[in-house]
Structure 1
């Protein structure tokens, strides 16, 4: 690589953790949307954006999302299911990170919320896998917002050209590249490992 790599920056959902809420939402919306349509509605949801930037409480988020999507459930039922949507890791994620942390500065940059983040920290100790963590609900902004990436680079004092970023969402990859970050779209630990090998990181 032309520039030495100092920082490995990772998304979490879709890269290390399998996202399992789609089937539940498809069931609740009774087939009104395709999976792609549902995902588009989700990422553009006002309730989602406000919750994942730490601006509203879990109860307010649930009530607003139920109203937005006309879901046939109450707030407690929704929240009980919602918490479990980010509990299944891709195999090998801990071993992979253990092998990287000795040679590189590592950090996570994830669009998430207090419920999912706390659950991941409690059940999988996800926060211990990286030297630094930047969850969106603590940052107050979300990818692909430029401010998310700039906050990480400024805080860690690493230039974009010495940063590798891995995410499963194309719009986030494009946003990172626009700032000069070397970004790669990956899905799951196997895909990430292969990409790291191709980049001579592993």
Structure 2
């Protein structure tokens, strides 16, 4: 029996344009993503470097690009938050049938944009639906590394077989599955989190 549900954030609740940042950076003249840039991104997502250090890295590599344009390009991945998903989440939370968790690979610039774009009232309303709200840059882990899933299980005394993990990336759900966690690899554009029960994922 499922007692706990761990949700991803991007393309589960908030819609994403996964190519948005690449397209925006290309318009600024950055057309190739180096291994160093990927590593800095992962370090930032784990909270090992600050937003200022992250921006400075790009400013040193591309001094002609304005800092605000860099931040805007970085946040171009973020889109809208459909009202139906908040309604579904609030009803699920209010039912008290499951322990709800959020587990997201994200960073300070993205969360700051969301807080400003949504407004703090909506952001708090969303966050308060969860027992725990885990953002990778705050806990120094990122998916699909196994230690992030083990961290959530251990900290909350969760039994893997009683837990469902919902994420749009197969690499993330595959990793969780190796620990015995039940998974739903949700396909954006074909499935929606509001179909959790109608599609018999629980």
- TM-score by shorter chain over 0.5: yes
1:71-82 to structure 2, matched below 5 A, reads: 73-82=65-74
Q: Give the aligned partner of residue 101 of structure 2.
A: 107
Q: Give the aligned partner of residue 140 of structure 2.
A: 140
Q: Give the aligned partner of residue 55 of structure 1.
A: 48
Matched residue SS, 1:49: helix
Q: For the residues of structure 2 that align with 1:173 and 1:62, how far apart are their CA atoms?
A: 31
Q: For the residues of structure 1 that align with 2:115 and 2:79, how far apart are their CA atoms?
A: 10
How many angstroms does 1:76 deviate by?
2.6
The Cα offsets for residues 150-201 of structure 1, whole Å up to 9 and x where unpaired, read as 1111111111100001000010010000110001111459522224323264
> Unmatched 5+ residue regions in structure 2?
none
Q: Give the aligned partner of residue 129 of structure 2.
A: 129
Q: For the residues of structure 2 that align with 1:19 and 1:115, how far apart are their CA atoms?
A: 15
Q: For the residues of structure 1 that align with 2:11 and 2:63, how far apart are their CA atoms?
A: 25
Q: Give the aligned partner of residue 97 of structure 1.
A: 89
CA contact (8 A) 2:24 2:76 kept: no
> Unmatched 5+ residue regions in structure 1?
none
TM-score (norm 1): 0.80
TM-score (norm 2): 0.80
Q: For the residues of structure 2 that align with 1:85 and 1:136, how far apart are their CA atoms?
A: 17
When residues 29 and 71 of structure 1 are mapped into structure 2, their CA distance, relative to the original with a 3 A threshold, is farther
CA contact (8 A) 1:83 1:119 kept: yes
Paired residue total: 192
Q: Give the aligned partner of residue 3 of structure 2.
A: 6
Match of 2:111 among 117, 123, 128: 117
How many angstroms does 1:27 deviate by?
4.3
Q: For the residues of structure 1 that align with 2:30 and 2:52, how far apart are their CA atoms?
A: 25
